[in-house]
Amino acid sequence: MKFDIIKGTLETMLSSLQPFLEKKDASQITAHILFTIKNEELTLKATDREMGLLTRTKDLKNGTEGSFTCNGQKILDIIRVLHPDDINIENNGDDVIIKQKRTKYKLQSFNPSQFPDFEQNPSLNEININSQNVITGLKQTAPAIAGAAHKAELTGTLIDIKNSIINIVATDTKRLAIFKINQNSDKNISFILPKRAVLEIQKIFNFDFKIAFDDTNFIAQNKDYYLFTKVINGRFPDYERIIPRDINHKFKINTEKMIESLFQISSLSKEVKIIFSENQIGFETLEHSSEEATTSFESDIKIEKPIAITVDSKFLIEFLQQVRGDTFLIGINEPTLPFTLENEHLLTIVMPIIL
């Protein structure tokens, strides 16, 4: 097997595959990328068996059909330092030869028949869902995904499909983010995507793609990419029970002013007290520190008595960075109860700091 290809095309393909390679043991075939030419199309595959990505192109010259593997990190390192010209790649059995003008490299190749297969199972169920809404929902809820130290089911994003609503949900137990998509569906199912997959889907797919799933796998694909991931086994918390049914105070707030004030206060302390009073929002660091900072801005707030909440400023800032438009809504019942943050399809529920 051999082919010529433009450096930029190959480098882009190899870069997209890096997160799917086995990183701990370079001797494994899963640390390799599988190259295949068939019907004048080059496909590259990488998988660590938990996730996998296939990418394809017809932008090659002098290609002959066949398959080979080579170490994914090493070949990317080589391609990156070459000139922006055509590159010739050839497999002669045990080795892969990479040439450009007077420069030549030789890499070890493994038996391509041993490479794990992850082609789509025809029994997978396809989901009829707007892919752009999926990308937006994954992006806006991703900050609330729990870290690795939490239970497995919290270290990913729930896709909860009901009759007329699809909810994309993430929680780290201190906050809960829900992105709601109003769309009729003939399915009533849910599954949990691991955080790695959530982040890679956002990077790879920026236009229409199809989604399919079964009990163990989730697949996203378009004409250029095919991504699979194992879903997380576990029972996601009953998030709908956490959503407050009634809100005593709901305020529309300017996003830019809120972010500016939070950054000013959080430069000294991440834990911030926010006071909502008539026509004003005040900010101050908590009293347990000998150092302090205060600020405020005018806001069209109508309230009889001031109400204050204490919060980790990180949670508010990460929500505000997802806000579309100039304003958002904050809903408060009591200082010790969870409060809500709303903007278009995104609802975030945050636990205040209890002093």
At 222 the pLDDT is 92
At 215 the pLDDT is 81
Query: What's the DSSP call for residue 83?
Result: -
For CATH 3.10.150.10, list the domain ranges present in the chain. 2-114, 126-217+229-241, 249-350
Encoded tokens for 352: 């205040």
Taking the mean position of all CA atoms in its chain, how far away is CA 254? 27
Of 177, 176, 170, 175, nearest to 156 by C-alpha is 170
For 228, 266, 279, the CA distances from 253, given in Å and listed in that order, are 40, 19, 11
Q: Is 261 exposed, middle or buried (0-12, 13-18, 19+ CB in 10 A)?
A: buried
pLDDT tens, residue order, the chain (355 aa): 999 999 999 999 999 999 999 999 989 999 999 999 999 999 999 999 999 999 999 999 999 999 999 999 999 999 999 999 999 999 998 999 999 999 999 999 999 999 998 866 666 778 878 888 999 999 999 999 998 878 999 999 999 998 889 999 999 999 999 999 998 777 788 999 999 999 999 999 987 899 988 888 999 999 999 999 999 999 999 999 999 999 999 999 999 999 999 999 999 999 999 999 999 999 999 866 688 999 999 999 999 999 999 999 999 999 999 999 999 999 999 999 999 999 999 999 999 998 7
CATH class, domain 249-350, is alpha beta
The hierarchical CATH code for the domain 2-114 is 3.10.150.10
Of 242, 218, 247, nearest to 230 by C-alpha is 218
The alpha helices in the chain, defined as continuous H runs, are 7-17, 72-81, 131-141, 195-204, 255-266, 313-320
CATH fold group of domain 126-217+229-241:
DNA Polymerase III; Chain A, domain 2 (3.10.150)
CB 36 within 8 A of CB 62: no
CB 325 within 8 A of CB 255: yes
How many other CB atoms are found less than 10 A from the CB of residue 343? 18
The pTM score is 0.92
Taking the mean position of all CA atoms in its chain, how far away is CA 205? 11
Encoded tokens for 145: 């995904």
Give me the residues paired with residue 48 across strands.
none
At 224 the pLDDT is 94
For 61, 100, 120, 148, the CA distances from 53, given in Å and listed in that order, are 23, 27, 12, 23
Encoded tokens for 76: 């990317």
Cα four-point dihedral sign 186, 191, 195, 201: negative
